[in-house]
Chain A
Amino acid sequence: MKLLKPSWVSHNGKPIFSVDIHPDGTKFATGGQGEDSGKVVIWNMAPVLREEDEKNVNIPKMLCQMDNHLACVNCVRWSNTGLYLASGGDDKLVMVWKRAAFIGPSTVFGSSSKLANVEQWRCVTILRNHTGDVMDVAWSPHDVWLASCSVDNTIVIWNARKFPEIVASLKGHTGLVKGLTWDPVGKYIASQADDHSLKVWRTMDWQQETNITKPFNECGGTTHVLRLSWSPDGQYLVSAHAMNNSGPTAQIIERDGWKTNMDFVGHRKAVTVVKFNPKIFKKKQRNGSSPKPSCPYCCCAVGSKDRSLSVWLTSLKRPLVVIHDLFDKSIMDISWTLNGLGILVCSMDGTVAYLNFSQDELGDPLNEDEKNAIHQNIYGKSLAITTEAQLSTTIIENPEMLKYQQERQRAEQANHRMTHEAQAHKLTSVVNGESLEDIRKNLLKKQVETRTADGRRRITPLCIAQLDTGPSSIKQSSQLSCLVFSAILSCSASTPSYRPVHLVFCSPPLSIPDSVSGATAQASSLNTTAMKSNLLLTTSTKMEPMKALDSRFTERSKVMPGVTISMFNVCLESPFYLTGYVRVFSSNYKVGTFYQGHFLFLLSPTAHLQATPSSEKEPCCVVAIPVAVLKLPTPTPQKAFTLQVSTEPPVYLEVENDVSAVSGAKLSQLRCSREGREWDTLLPSRVITAAGSSDVVAVACEDRMLSVFSACGRRLLPAILLPAPMSALHCAGFYVMALTACTECTVSQSLLTQQGVPVIGLSNGKSYCFNSSLETWNLIADKQDSLVQCADFKNCISSQDAPVSQGPLALTQGHNLNAGRLASRLSSTPHHLQHGMTLVFLENQLASALTLRSSTEYHYWLLIYARFLVTEGSDYRLRELCKDLLGPVHKSAGSAWEPTTLGLRKRDLLRELLPVIGQNLRFQRLFTEYQDQLELLGNK
């Protein structure tokens, strides 16, 4: 566990009553007392999480502050979608805030601080009904309702879809209501009040379900808040301040019969706040292949007036951790991050603390599907819409979605003739094409001034912006990136013979300045002399890996032959995908290249392979054939194996070779389980070795293909043809290292495409293109590839798409594609296998089109891929795809997102994909999320 008290999160020393982390984890809100009003502040989360971001003056800490509450703010809560923020205060009001698009950052006029608001949050609704201070607010699951409770002894349920409509007013408490919590399945809402009672209300008829008083009878004295919490599995409700044997406790109330047999004991003063972790956990898997089923448990944080915080696991009898003297005054509120590993705590003393746990400490969080499965098991209904049957009753939540769905129906009736226009263009910050500056110059002359009947002057103000219109310009911070590689590998050579080594590193994403032009690379002090000495014999065994590489890397590297690279400073600038790459040649070493934010580092002492595109049409490819001197031992393919590739989070890889035979061809299956989430993929050749990290998974096949997958199993690169059979493979972070044994290889013929990509067709039916940035040959077509034969994506080809038959990919692959289209009729493979094969095939196509720089084909396959994901419901991949296309919304250090790919603007592509995503109601959240973000980003 790590603990941090960010001193900059403060309301100038005034009490902070509430804290809540945004669902996307990028920001958090605090509420409390301001100078002469209530205050809500939205903070950037990045500086809390990362020290370098905290030090970076360019990264804002405060995003927005709102002084609109007339009196102290007692509670701030983000909606589950993250679109809205609700705040309630002593001024009896509940305000609902929404991120507004605006002309630019603005300061609070006349305020002493000159800090501009980075984000604009605007109060969209004021909810007036309470006649006393509002103490707590809570959004229901799915954001259907917003509940608020007050010292007027009532709870008001607001219709969150139609503010300020009141759904119900819950009366029955005879004291100040100081806490609210919704049942995660949406059946109940519970409230706790100063009247020594905790009441549970049904959402069906808004009547009281039960009234629990026994544990509170002894309670004397008052706490400012009584924030109770419901466990994520819905089974337990935990109260704030309760008493047991005259000791303060947090009472556990079982959903089953509302029994009150257990409590959290140990705090010396009244418990003010209880907050359950949003995740359900299960025991860590220690050995990968057979995860023993263990009982899932929840995690709960308890804060008290005694200024201490305790964190409990429902599987343990004693608290996981107790932190005393964290604050000078009572703890007021707690908020967990959505991933369940971080926690923000605020106190009356005006400070905030952040705690970060590791999965070792808490356990493996269940993913949403598993959580829903638990809900479904217990309650017969689940929050998430998981099955098609339920879709018919799904409420459409967003007007854009509704509009889209209606239009789709119409379009279907009109025999697919209509196409949807997804974007409703909104007003920008200019009026009639004039900029604000122009308007200002002539404002006095232009403004309309009249005289009223009694002779007074009356000016009609010029409206320069409507509310919630002009999209805010979010500046992408581009930062100078300088790669500094310091990798010293110096090993004792057990034999004086020279061993060829191939190292491939993929580094974490880097941002590249647009300003610099022309790729430059410097290899400072590439130590060739050290190399030579290694050849002679070195006795010292030393290695200093890059920071990102873990210790396992270090240990295994010791057996590698000696190579010394002391330092490379590489400055890259052309930000284009695949175009900007760097090569450094020094004697026979080549270093280089850039690929989608991954730095690939190739070092090959013997091989010197270079493609020199001279003229576009002339086939031209110079291949220097590497000469093998000595082979490294290569692992022999096994039938199946399992390995744990990461402990933090735990990731297991399972490989099963020759898993199934489809039309005579054998496939291998790679299965990955990570934090309880699993994915699998199919490979056409037997897997020799596999490796993975928390970010990537790499596998090497018998046919010398190296495949790299993302954490969700998305193929990142087309299969890389390694110049030699694989010997060993390691991953760490975004780095992949491949160690190959070198053998000879020959190439018979080659050609160069229009885009300047050399393509080679071999007699065995395989085609490769040379990926200049990777400096490897990538497989783009294989006539024997059973995946091609079996992939079925016929349903995903839209009639509107012009079939791409002229592109380089189509030319190389030829008739294979037609075979694929007929696969559904030819083969009778089980559906899940078919699904997997199609997915793999489509990802291959996408990656190949990228490598071939064929933008039309990329576009074509992207749409098909997206349609396939939408129809098959691959949530994670779809989300990852959208995330990549959207790019970062917020400023943070070290982002290397490129706005374009192959000359296509990624956000335009996303805009094109959104209607496709909208076709499946199941993805309406995803649709809404990205639709809104796109709108917010305001891509011209």
Chain B
Amino acid sequence: MAKVQVLNVAVLDNPSPFGNPFQFEITFECMEDLPEDLEWKIIYVGSAESEEYDQTLDSVLVGPVPAGRHMFVFQADAPNTGLIPESDAVGVTVALITCTYNGQEFIRIGYYVNNEYTDPELRENPPIKPDYTQLQRNILASNPRVTRFHINWDGCSDKMEDSENVDPSPNSSSSSSMVPSSCLAGKALPVGLLSGNSMDCL
């Protein structure tokens, strides 16, 4: 079983202007002392169409982690607007928090993010080139999508044996940290469907 359980993620400073940093207050619990650090990442999905626009906003190591309940605030800068397709700047997208141990991802928390103009005038007639200073980012904090993966917590030995009883998820192999988020996007979040039902979820 997982040695680390995420108990809660609180989204701070939400909603906020698009340019503000992301802040997540993460509470997790650890069953026993971890010899290695945990690595947390925030990934911003720039476009639902293609994973090539995914941006890793930041990655932090968290440690040392003794057994017990811990919390920290993960702050990361806002996405680089230059890497976001102009057509996808306004509307619903996704932010992901992932955590890996020994290079193996064991949890992925996805949030829907809605970017929209606060000014009704701009909302009616959005400029062709998005005005990021006027955009407001609203993370749908009440509805996280959590996917957990079974990983080998005890170092790299007998990895083969352990992988037998693990769900056939593409991410459970040791190379998971290298794999961009998108290969799981289909499982974690129906990103492709977002544009259609965005009004419902917001």
Which A residues form the contact surface with B (CB < 8 A)? 36, 68-71, 90-93, 95, 103, 106, 109-111, 123, 126, 439-440, 443-444, 447, 449, 452, 456-467
Instruction: Enumerate chain B residues within 8 angstroms of A71, measured Cβ to Cβ.
Output: 165
Q: Are A467 and B2 interface neighbours, CB within 8 A?
A: no
Apart from A69-B1, A464-B69: 19 A-B pairs, beta carbons within 8 A = A70-B166, A90-B165, A95-B1, A109-B146, A110-B146, A126-B1, A444-B73, A452-B61, A459-B61, A459-B62, A459-B74, A460-B72, A461-B28, A462-B71, A464-B27, A465-B68, A466-B68, A466-B69, A467-B31
Q: Which residue of A lies closest to B38 (CB)?
A: A461
Q: Are A464 and B8 interface neighbours, CB within 8 A?
A: no
Say whether B102 faces chain A, with CB atoms less than 8 Å apart. no
| Distance (whole angstroms) from the CB of B80 to the closest CB of chain A | 18
Q: Which residue of A lies closest to B8 (CB)?
A: A109
Which B residues form the contact surface with A (CB < 8 A)? 1-2, 5-9, 12, 23, 25, 27-29, 31, 37, 58-75, 109, 144-146, 150, 165-167
- List 10 A-B residue pairs with CB atoms under 8 Å apart, sorted by A's residue number: A103-B69, A109-B9, A110-B144, A440-B25, A444-B23, A458-B62, A459-B62, A460-B63, A462-B72, A463-B68
| Distance (whole angstroms) from the CB of B159 to the closest CB of chain A | 15
Instruction: Enumerate chain A residues within 8 angstroms of B8, measured Cβ to Cβ.
Output: 106, 109
Q: Which residue of A lies closest to B67 (CB)?
A: A467
Instruction: Enumerate chain A residues within 8 angstroms of B72, measured Cβ to Cβ.
Output: 443, 447, 459-462
Q: How far is the CA of A90 from the CA of B164 in the complex (A)?
A: 12
Query: Among the listed A36, A443, A466, which residue makes an inter-chain contact with B25, where contact means beta carbons less than 8 Å apart?
Result: A443
Instruction: Enumerate chain A residues within 8 angstroms of B29, measured Cβ to Cβ.
Output: 467
Query: Among the listed A36, A92, A456, which residue makes an inter-chain contact with B60, where contact means beta carbons less than 8 Å apart?
Result: A456
Q: How far is the CA of A728 from the CA of B166 in the complex (A)?
A: 73
Q: Are A458 and B37 interface neighbours, CB within 8 A?
A: yes
Q: How far is the CA of A669 from the CA of B67 in the complex (A)?
A: 60
| Distance (whole angstroms) from the CB of B69 to the closest CB of chain A | 4
Instruction: Enumerate chain B residues within 8 angstroms of A458, measured Cβ to Cβ.
Output: 37, 60-63
Q: Are B62 and A461 interface neighbours, CB within 8 A?
A: yes
Q: Are A109 and B65 interface neighbours, CB within 8 A?
A: no
Q: Are B58 and A92 interface neighbours, CB within 8 A?
A: no
Q: Are A457 and B69 interface neighbours, CB within 8 A?
A: no
Q: Are A109 and B7 interface neighbours, CB within 8 A?
A: yes
Q: How far is the CA of A129 from the CA of B42 in the complex (A)?
A: 37
Q: How far is the CA of A464 from the CA of B75 in the complex (A)?
A: 19
Q: Are B60 and A443 interface neighbours, CB within 8 A?
A: no
| Distance (whole angstroms) from the CB of B98 to the closest CB of chain A | 14
Q: Are B1 and A70 interface neighbours, CB within 8 A?
A: yes
Query: Assuming A459-B62, A464-B69, is B6 touching A109 (CB within 8 A)?
Result: yes
Instruction: Enumerate chain A residues within 8 angstroms of B145, measured Cβ to Cβ.
Output: 110
Instruction: Enumerate chain A residues within 8 angstroms of B62, measured Cβ to Cβ.
Output: 458-461
Instruction: Enumerate chain A residues within 8 angstroms of B167, measured Cβ to Cβ.
Output: 36
Chain B interface main SS type = strand
Q: Which residue of A lies closest to B65 (CB)?
A: A461
Q: Which residue of B lies closest to A444 (CB)?
A: B73
Instruction: Enumerate chain B residues within 8 angstroms of A123, measured Cβ to Cβ.
Output: 1, 31
| Distance (whole angstroms) from the CB of A330 to the closest CB of chain B | 25
Instruction: Enumerate chain B residues within 8 angstroms of A444, measured Cβ to Cβ.
Output: 12, 23, 73, 75
| Distance (whole angstroms) from the CB of B2 to the closest CB of chain A | 7
Q: Are B150 and A70 interface neighbours, CB within 8 A?
A: yes
Instruction: Enumerate chain A residues within 8 angstroms of B58, measured Cβ to Cβ.
Output: 457
Q: Are A68 and B2 interface neighbours, CB within 8 A?
A: yes
Instruction: Enumerate chain B residues within 8 angstroms of A126, measured Cβ to Cβ.
Output: 1
| Distance (whole angstroms) from the CB of B109 to the closest CB of chain A | 7
Query: Among the listed A36, A68, A92, A461, which residue makes an inter-chain contact with B70, where contact means beta carbons less than 8 Å apart?
Result: A461
Instruction: Enumerate chain B residues within 8 angstroms of A110, measured Cβ to Cβ.
Output: 6, 109, 144-146
- Nearest first, the 6 A-B pairs at minimum CB distance are A110-B146, A461-B70, A68-B1, A465-B69, A458-B61, A444-B73
Q: How far is the CA of A91 from the CA of B166 in the complex (A)?
A: 9
Instruction: Enumerate chain B residues within 8 angstroms of A463, measured Cβ to Cβ.
Output: 66, 68-70
| Distance (whole angstroms) from the CB of B199 to the closest CB of chain A | 21
Q: Which residue of B lies closest to A124 (CB)?
A: B31
Q: Are B63 and A109 interface neighbours, CB within 8 A?
A: no
| Distance (whole angstroms) from the CB of A338 to the closest CB of chain B | 30
Q: How far is the CA of A444 from the CA of B31 in the complex (A)?
A: 24
| Distance (whole angstroms) from the CB of A478 to the closest CB of chain B | 29
Q: How far is the CA of A68 from the CA of B153 in the complex (A)?
A: 14
Instruction: Enumerate chain A residues within 8 angstroms of B146, measured Cβ to Cβ.
Output: 109-111
Query: Assuming A110-B145, A123-B31, is B70 touching A464 (CB within 8 A)?
Result: yes
Q: How far is the CA of A569 from the CA of B144 in the complex (A)?
A: 51
Q: Which residue of B lies closest to A91 (CB)?
A: B165
Interface centre among A110, A440, A456, A465 (most CB of B within 10 A): A110
Instruction: Enumerate chain B residues within 8 angstroms of A92, measured Cβ to Cβ.
Output: 165
Q: How far is the CA of A36 from the CA of B167 in the complex (A)?
A: 8
Interface centre among A36, A103, A461 (most CB of B within 10 A): A461
Q: Which residue of B lies closest to A436 (CB)?
A: B71
Q: How far is the CA of A439 from the CA of B71 in the complex (A)?
A: 10
Q: How far is the CA of A106 from the CA of B6 in the complex (A)?
A: 11
Q: Which residue of A lies closest to B40 (CB)?
A: A459
Query: Among the listed A70, A457, A466, which residue makes an inter-chain contact with B67, where contact means beta carbons less than 8 Å apart?
Result: A466
Q: Which residue of B lies closest to A469 (CB)?
A: B68
Instruction: Enumerate chain A residues within 8 angstroms of B5, measured Cβ to Cβ.
Output: 109
Instruction: Enumerate chain A residues within 8 angstroms of B61, measured Cβ to Cβ.
Output: 452, 456-459
Q: Are A464 and B71 interface neighbours, CB within 8 A?
A: yes
Q: How far is the CA of A440 from the CA of B66 in the complex (A)?
A: 20
Q: Which residue of B lies closest to A102 (CB)?
A: B69
| Distance (whole angstroms) from the CB of A681 to the closest CB of chain B | 52
Instruction: Enumerate chain B residues within 8 angstroms of A93, measured Cβ to Cβ.
Output: 1
Q: Are B73 and A447 interface neighbours, CB within 8 A?
A: yes
Q: How far is the CA of A258 from the CA of B118 in the complex (A)?
A: 83
Q: How far is the CA of A123 from the CA of B64 in the complex (A)?
A: 21
Q: How far is the CA of A464 from the CA of B72 in the complex (A)?
A: 10
Query: Among the listed B27, B59, B71, B75, which residue makes an inter-chain contact with A456, where contact means beta carbons less than 8 Å apart?
Result: B59
Instruction: Enumerate chain B residues within 8 angstroms of A459, measured Cβ to Cβ.
Output: 60-62, 72, 74
| Distance (whole angstroms) from the CB of A67 to the closest CB of chain B | 9
Q: How far is the CA of A461 from the CA of B68 in the complex (A)?
A: 11
Q: How far is the CA of A70 from the CA of B93 in the complex (A)?
A: 31
Q: How far is the CA of A109 from the CA of B97 in the complex (A)?
A: 14
Q: Which residue of A lies closest to B167 (CB)?
A: A36
Q: Are A457 and B60 interface neighbours, CB within 8 A?
A: yes
Q: Are A460 and B64 interface neighbours, CB within 8 A?
A: yes
Q: Are A70 and B165 interface neighbours, CB within 8 A?
A: yes
Instruction: Enumerate chain B residues within 8 angstroms of A36, measured Cβ to Cβ.
Output: 167
Q: Which residue of A lies closest to B146 (CB)?
A: A110
Instruction: Enumerate chain B residues within 8 angstroms of A457, measured Cβ to Cβ.
Output: 58-61
Query: Among the listed A106, A111, A461, which residue makes an inter-chain contact with B71, where contact means beta carbons less than 8 Å apart?
Result: A461
Q: How far is the CA of A605 from the CA of B145 in the complex (A)?
A: 72
Instruction: Enumerate chain A residues within 8 angstroms of B37, measured Cβ to Cβ.
Output: 458
Instruction: Enumerate chain B residues within 8 angstroms of A462, measured Cβ to Cβ.
Output: 70-72
Q: How far is the CA of A464 from the CA of B7 in the complex (A)?
A: 12
Q: How far is the CA of A843 from the CA of B7 in the complex (A)?
A: 51
Instruction: Enumerate chain B residues within 8 angstroms of A69, measured Cβ to Cβ.
Output: 1
Q: Which residue of A lies closest to B37 (CB)?
A: A458
Instruction: Enumerate chain B residues within 8 angstroms of A106, measured Cβ to Cβ.
Output: 7-8
Q: Which residue of A lies closest to B66 (CB)?
A: A463
Instruction: Enumerate chain B residues within 8 angstroms of A447, measured Cβ to Cβ.
Output: 72-73
Query: Among the listed A70, A109, A111, A443, which residue makes an inter-chain contact with B73, where contact means beta carbons less than 8 Å apart?
Result: A443
Q: How far is the CA of A70 from the CA of B9 in the complex (A)?
A: 23
| Distance (whole angstroms) from the CB of A629 to the closest CB of chain B | 73
Instruction: Enumerate chain A residues within 8 angstroms of B165, measured Cβ to Cβ.
Output: 70-71, 90-92
| Distance (whole angstroms) from the CB of A441 to the closest CB of chain B | 11
Q: Are B1 and A467 interface neighbours, CB within 8 A?
A: no
Q: Are A467 and B68 interface neighbours, CB within 8 A?
A: yes
Instruction: Enumerate chain A residues within 8 angstroms of B7, measured Cβ to Cβ.
Output: 106, 109
| Distance (whole angstroms) from the CB of A438 to the closest CB of chain B | 13
Q: How far is the CA of A461 from the CA of B12 in the complex (A)?
A: 17
Q: How far is the CA of A92 from the CA of B161 in the complex (A)?
A: 12
Q: How far is the CA of A400 from the CA of B86 in the complex (A)?
A: 67
| Distance (whole angstroms) from the CB of A91 to the closest CB of chain B | 6
Q: How far is the CA of A444 from the CA of B8 in the complex (A)?
A: 16
Q: Which residue of B lies closest to A470 (CB)?
A: B69
Query: Among the listed B2, B6, B71, which residue makes an inter-chain contact with A443, where contact means beta carbons less than 8 Å apart?
Result: B71
